[in-house]
Chain A
Amino acid sequence: MTRVASALFSRLVIIIPYAWLLFFFLIPFFIVFRISLSQTAVAMPPYTPVFDLFGGLTGILDKAREFSFDNYVWLTEDVLYFNAYVSSVIIAGVSTVLTLLIAYPVAYGMAKAPKTIRPTLLMLVILPFWTSFLIRVYAWIAILKPEGLLNQFLMSINVIDQPLIILNTNWAIYIGIVYSYLPFMVLPIYSSLEKMDHTLTEAALDLGCTPFTAFWRVTFPLSLAGVVAGCLLVFIPAVGEFVIPDLLGGSETLMIGKTLWNEFNANRDWPVSSAVATILLLILVLPIVYFQNAQAKADGEGR
């Protein structure tokens, strides 16, 4: 009896993550996808067709005939969307590279720090999360604006005599994204560096590597898993980022998150914004699935 119970329990445990994915990812996605096939309408909700469960099966099938891919066609007709996707991917890509360049040395330093102070350093990396994300982005406005802290400081030490225009440019977006997502890059890299056997570096030195080549031939390749995880954790949310470009970026900055927000709130065009969201998901998911498969294959060959 207990065996049956424990088998049942282990099934239940497996069901939990699947149920989570079903309720919080798949079902919402299908709702969005379904809306993207609808037409906008001045109504509540602002699209048609709306399913009436009391209309019976034939009613539902009739309504389903109204579905169309018009919104997707529309996205290809207006170059605005294409440009927004491309510029989002570029901005996210550049930000990811910048984040990596800053996070790697930070993670490396943390992993090489004495064991006793590592928890403190880890705490310091996580600490900003205790403040609201929005407040921290607003703080950057105060720092970056023409009469802000940064310009005041630079002018007071006579590095510049004209205030730098950073706010409302792409630079401000890069700064905002790098700042906000840094911990997501630091933590996975740190965890991959921290568990690395330090005698591997010694072995590389022993076999003739200078400390620099030892890093490139041994330490860096072995931390790649952390680097990849960190890059995905930064790149994916950065592509769809809305708050940072809205607050720090200029009016000419085109990012898909902002476009989506405009379609949804300003134009009240739920179907088009749903189509934008669906395409965004495909843009992000397809390369990741491909990458994961490639990596699994490479692992399989090594085994």
Chain B
Amino acid sequence: MKSLGSIRRSFAPWADPASKPFISVKNVTKRFGDFTAVDDLSLDIYTREFFALLGASGCGKSTLLRMLAGFEQPTSGEIILDGQSLAGIPPYRRPVNMMFQSYALFPHMTVENNIAFGLKQDGMPKADIAARVAQMLKLVKLEKFSQRKPHQLSGGQRQRVALARSLAKRPKVLLLDEPLGALDKKLREETQFELMDLQQELGLTFVVVTHDQEEAMTMADRIAVMSHGKVVQVATPAEIYEAPNSRFVADFIGDVNIFEGAVSGAEGGYVRLEGTNGFPIRMASPETPATGGKSAVAVRPEKIRVSRQPPAHAPVNAVQGEIWDIGYLGDMTVFHVRLKDGRVIKASSLNAVRAVEDPLGYDQEVWVSFGEDAGVVLKD
């Protein structure tokens, strides 16, 4: 899989203006009575992309997926798949298949018949069906279980049957609704990588709905963070994490410290804030907000240093506090440092060596600081 990894790294059709999107969602709105589930949403998904729709429950991500599958029709707007509008096309005539959150395996059929269901429906010759089913069983490593009924399988095996069934018809797009939601943590982590390998191997376009940010970050080429029926940001996992475009995204993905302040100046790609925490902030920013306006800077815990001595750049990007809590996680240690005004800053440091001489302890007076390019200036 090594070579695929390198393909994966260079895979960025969304950055290429010449490439055409495979799925285009254009100004789609979906209302259920008074409730707007999806609100004037537009996004593009490219061939062979592993695309994740990420958001809290009720953000409209599942509704969007169901519109792609054809179970719901947009109230307005249009979805285009491979150059064809999907308007009015029922689910059974769409070249997409879905893997359901509940798996929706047919309880009265064996594993084999579940996988063959769609193929039989298409009137494929029997020999071809048998060959395809065997291939699918091999793909999900369930050869020995072909004659079992779904209720005789474990949760992980059922998940794989559901996956095999949805892949059997070789759809152009596979839609996955919380595919790993019902699995326990360890199995979920393994399966994440299996899914990624499978997607690479088959060269399919995957659209996955999840509320688990870790899952989305691990698997997806790009993530669309959704909230209240709208897409807040579409970007690669790294961009989403390192350059969130809003406080919502910064807060939703991972841990973050937010420092608020008034913009007091900007020069040479740096913005100066008079922080409300009592220390000035200087932060790299591609855009320069208007002087005097309110702004905020988001800094991830792992980019914050905790030290006994003040850093050279103090008092800029540095403030004193006392260690309030220490969480030892093995691979890293999380510090909660309490400032004089009562605010708590989260910092984490990697435990790169086995034993530290004179480690930081509770109630110690420390400096927390961060570099000039450690954080992001948030627009709102």
Chain A residues with a Cβ under 8 A of chain B:
197, 199-200, 202-210, 213, 217-218, 221-222, 302-303
Q: Which residues of A contact B248 (CB under 8 A)?
A: none
Q: Which residues of A contact B71 (CB under 8 A)?
A: 202, 205
Complex-state Cα separation, A221 to B106, whole angstroms: 10
Q: Which residues of A contact B92 (CB under 8 A)?
A: 205-210
Query: How many whole Å from A201's CB to the nearest CB in chain B?
Result: 9
Residue in contact with A200 in the complex, picked from B69, B91, B104, B152, CB distance below 8 Å: B104
Q: Which residues of B contact A204 (CB under 8 A)?
A: 106, 117
* B5 on the A face (CB < 8 A): no
Report B86-105 CB contacts with A as 1/0, cut-off 8 Å.
00001110001110101011
Query: How many whole Å from B12's CB to the nearest CB in chain A?
Result: 30
B108 touches A222 (CB 8 A): yes
Complex-state Cα separation, A270 to B121, whole angstroms: 60
B91 touches A205 (CB 8 A): yes
Residue in contact with B106 in the complex, picked from A200, A206, A208, A302, CB distance below 8 Å: A200
Query: How many whole Å from A207's CB to the nearest CB in chain B?
Result: 3
* B305 on the A face (CB < 8 A): no
* B341 on the A face (CB < 8 A): no
17 example contacts (A-B, Cβ-Cβ < 8 A) are as follows: A199-B102, A202-B98, A202-B100, A202-B104, A203-B165, A204-B117, A205-B70, A205-B71, A205-B90, A206-B91, A206-B92, A206-B98, A207-B117, A207-B165, A208-B92, A210-B90, A222-B106
Chain B residues with a Cβ under 8 A of chain A:
69-71, 90-92, 96-98, 100, 102, 104-108, 117-118, 121-122, 149, 152, 165-166, 169
For the residues of A in contact with B, the DSSP-based class is: helix
Complex-state Cα separation, A202 to B105, whole angstroms: 11
Query: How many whole Å from A213's CB to the nearest CB in chain B?
Result: 7
A218 touches B102 (CB 8 A): no
A207 touches B169 (CB 8 A): yes
Query: How many whole Å from B121's CB to the nearest CB in chain A?
Result: 4
Closest to A199 in B: B104
Most buried by B among A203, A205, A303: A203
Q: Shortest 7 CB-CB distances between A and B: which pairs?
A: A207-B118, A203-B104, A208-B121, A199-B104, A205-B91, A206-B98, A208-B92
A207 touches B102 (CB 8 A): no
Complex-state Cα separation, A208 to B92, whole angstroms: 4
A203 touches B106 (CB 8 A): yes
Q: Which residues of B contact A209 (CB under 8 A)?
A: 92, 121
Residue in contact with A206 in the complex, picked from B97, B102, B105, CB distance below 8 Å: B97
Complex-state Cα separation, A150 to B333, whole angstroms: 86
Q: Which residues of A contact B102 (CB under 8 A)?
A: 197, 199
Complex-state Cα separation, A204 to B106, whole angstroms: 9
Residue in contact with B100 in the complex, picked from A203, A208, A213, A302, CB distance below 8 Å: A203
Complex-state Cα separation, A213 to B165, whole angstroms: 18
Query: How many whole Å from A279's CB to the nearest CB in chain B?
Result: 37
